[in-house]
């Protein structure tokens, strides 16, 4: 028997062991990376979900405020027109209506 055969067999076995160990470590790294990615994803979703809910609530509140502002603008326009008509009626009746500046001053005093 050739004296080198046991050495070659030992080298091949060692290489096989090293290869298996390398592949095991590599697979473990992939598993660890996948677990780390999943953990980061879970953390991110845990942070994003409440913020998205808050954004949805604020968006709804914004729509409500916009609708209220629109309604108040319409009411203001109607009240302004009504004030113009009353002002004209006071003038036609021969009286001096209160000035807008006087109304502003009265509002500041209250």
Note the pLDDT tens digit of each residue in 5-27. 777 777 777 767 776 777 777 76
pLDDT at 1: 57
Task: Provide the total of helices (H) and of strands (E) in the chain, helices listed first.
Answer: 2, 0
Whole-angstrom distance, CA of residue 83 vs CA of residue 77: 10
Q: Per-residue pLDDT averaged across 83-102, rounded?
A: 92
Q: Are 59 and 65 in contact (CB under 8 A)?
A: no
Residues 55-87 pLDDT 10s: 999 999 999 999 999 999 999 999 999 999 999
pLDDT at 43: 78
Q: What is the pTM of this model?
A: 0.53
């Amino acid at each position: 028997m050739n004296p080198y055969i046991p050495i070659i067999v030992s080298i091949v076995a060692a290489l096989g062991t090293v290869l298996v160990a390398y592949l095991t470590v590599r697979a473990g790294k992939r598993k660890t990376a996948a677990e780390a990615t999943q953990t980061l994803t879970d953390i991110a979703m845990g942070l994003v979900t409440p913020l998205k809910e808050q954004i949805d609530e604020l968006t709804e509140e914004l729509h409500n405020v916009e609708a209220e502002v629109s309604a108040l603008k319409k009411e203001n326009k109607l009240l302004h027109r009504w004030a113009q008509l009353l002002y004209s009626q006071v003038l036609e009746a021969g009286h001096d209506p209160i000035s807008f500046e006087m109304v502003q001053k009265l509002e500041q005093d209250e």
